[in-house]
Amino acid sequence: MPILAQSASVRSSGQWFTITQESLGEYYRERGMTARDGQFAALAEASIRESLALQNDVAGHAVLAELLMRQGERLDEAESELQLAKELAVTREEEAMIESDLGNLAVDREELEEALRHYQRAAEIEPNFEGIWFKIGFIQRNLKRYEEAKATYLHAIEQEPKDMAAYSELCAIYMNERELGKAREIVERGLRNIPGSPRLLALLSSIYMESGDPLTEAEQIDPNNEIVQSMREELNRRLKR
């Protein structure tokens, strides 16, 4: 659960027991075993509510909201839990986490402008909040605000250079705009930070194929370059399919 990774305050044995139950529910859901999925979701919810009755805290309401959001049909209940968590929040990290989760909820409702407001608010509260700049860029891209999205993705890369998602999304924008040189530059930057990434190598291969820029030219310029060598391996693999 994303929310669990962001909240260091989820520590009680009851809540960790709940996490295990929900993880099992997700396991069964992924395999189409909906009856068991529902059983574990119900157990998880009951466990969280029992924990909240004993200790009314931010983490409990946030975890319950996450569980309710996963069920899809209970978004209003999830929002109520997040508002309760918001009232209890005392640290900037907790405030940012709740704003981010409210943004996630707005995305589930397909309310992108509302989601963007929450994500931007989270970034204002805690600029280093994990993944928040990527989320802002993703919404801007879906709202077709491409110039804003490009700037935001670049900032996301500066903040989290090991996160591949921003490189991939920014590359897609450049490709759609036929800015193949910029697309290649950003993917190569990603490969310097995440060497050997199969996804980024596949993207770079697609850029070479799209541009008609022969890899042999790059090999002649710098045959020992790790990115060039990896690209040759990736292209050879594709040609063998």
Do 221 and 198 sit in the same domain of this protein?
A: yes
What letter does residue 177 receive in the DSSP assignment? T
Q: Of 54, 85, 116, which closes a domain? A: 85
pLDDT at 44 over 90: no
Closest residue by Cα to residue 208 from 239, 181, 176, 240: 181
Do 188 and 134 sit in the same domain of this protein?
A: no
pLDDT at 150 over 90: yes
pLDDT at 154 over 60: yes
Q: Where is pLDDT greater, at 191 or 13?
A: 191
| Structure confidence at residue 112 as a pLDDT band (50, 70, 90) | very high
Q: Give the pLDDT confidence score for residue 210 in this predicted structure.
A: 81
Q: Give the pLDDT confidence score for residue 222 in this predicted structure.
A: 46
Q: How far apart are the first and last CA of the chain?
A: 36
| Structure confidence at residue 5 as a pLDDT band (50, 70, 90) | very low
Q: How far apart are CA 227 and CA 219, in angstroms?
A: 10
pLDDT at 190 over 60: yes
Q: Judging by beta carbons within 10 Å of its beta carbon (0-12, 13-18, 19+), is residue 149 exposed, middle or buried? A: buried
Q: Look up the domain containing 24 and give its range.
A: 1-85
Q: What is the dihedral of CA 156, 159, 162, 167, to 10 degrees?
A: 20
**Whole-prediction pTM:** 0.73
Confirm if 237 and 210 have CB atoms less than 8 A apart.
no
Do 187 and 119 sit in the same domain of this protein?
A: no
Do 189 and 128 sit in the same domain of this protein?
A: no
Query: Which amino acid, residue 234?
Result: E
Q: Where is pLDDT greater, at 237 or 203?
A: 203
CATH number, position 207: 1.25.40
Average pLDDT value over all residues in the chain: 80
User: How many separate domains does the chain show?
Assistant: 3
| Structure confidence at residue 213 as a pLDDT band (50, 70, 90) | low
Do 114 and 168 sit in the same domain of this protein?
A: no
The string of pLDDT tens digits covering residues 64-91 is 888 888 887 889 988 998 998 899 888 9
